[in-house]
Amino acid sequence: MKILVAVKRVVDYAVKVRVRPDRTAVDTASVKMSMNPFCEIAVEEALRLREAGAAAEVIAATVGPAQAADTLRTALAMGADRAVHVLHDPDPARPLLPLAVAKVLRALALQENPGLVILGKQAIDDDCNQTGQMLAALLNWPQGTFASKVIIDKDKQKATVEREVDGGTETICLDLPAVITTDLRLNQPRYATLPNIMKAKSKVIKKVTPAELNVDIRSDMEVVQVDEPPKRKAGVILSSVDELLDKLKNEAHVL
Scanning residues 78 to 97, which ones bind another protein (CB under 8 A)?
97
Tell me: does residue 110 bind another protein (CB under 8 A).
no
Choosing from 21, 53, 167, 195, the residue that interacts with another protein (CB under 8 A) is 167
Out of 111, 113, 169, 193, the residue judged to bind another protein by CB under 8 A: 169
Q: Which residue from 5, 9, 25 is spatially nearest to 17, judged by alpha carbons?
A: 25
Which CB atom, from 72 or from 135, has the smaller least distance to another protein? 135
For residues 196, 47, 145, 117, the Cα torsion angle rounded to the nearest 10 degrees is 90
Compute how many residues bind another protein; rule: CB under 8 A: 81
- Of 7 and 178, CB closest to another protein: 178
Cα distances (angstroms) measured from residue 218 to each of 45, 83, 99: 31, 24, 9
Cβ distance 19 to 228 under 8 Å?
A: yes
For the beta carbon of residue 248, count every other beta carbon within 10 angstroms: 12
Give yes or no for residue 13 binding another protein (CB under 8 A).
yes
Does residue number 196 form part of the binding site for another protein (CB under 8 A)?
no
The DSSP call for residue 248 is H
**Interface with another protein, residue 232, by CB under 8 A:** yes
Q: Which residue of 141, 147, 152, 213 would you call a contact of another protein, by CB under 8 A?
A: 141
Rounded-to-integer distance, Cα 225 and Cα 238, Å:
38
Question: Of 53, 155, 242, 250, which lies in the binding site for another protein, with binding defined by CB under 8 A?
Answer: 242
52, 110, 198, 244: which one binds another protein (CB under 8 A) = 244
Alpha-carbon gap, residue 177 to 158, rounded angstroms:
8
Question: Which one among 126, 151, 157, 196 touches another protein, defined by CB under 8 A?
Answer: 126
Residue 227 contacts another protein per CB under 8 A: yes
90: Cβ contacts below 8 Å, ≥ 6 apart? 64, 65, 96
Question: Which of the ranges 50-58, 64-72, 166-174, 200-208 carries the binding residues for another protein, by CB under 8 A?
Answer: 166-174
Min dist. Cβ of residue 232 to another protein (A): 5
Q: How far apart are CA 65 and CA 26, in angstroms?
A: 17
Residue 51 interacts with another protein (CB under 8 A): yes or no: no
Q: Interface with another protein by CB under 8 A: which range of 55-63, 108-116, 192-200, 225-233?
A: 225-233
Q: Is 135 a residue that touches another protein (CB under 8 A)?
A: yes
- What φ, ψ does residue 102 adopt, rounded to 5°? -65, -35
CA distance to 37, 102, 158, per residue, from 49 (Å): 19, 23, 13
Taking a C-beta distance cutoff of 8 angstroms, is the pair 210, 216 a contact?
yes
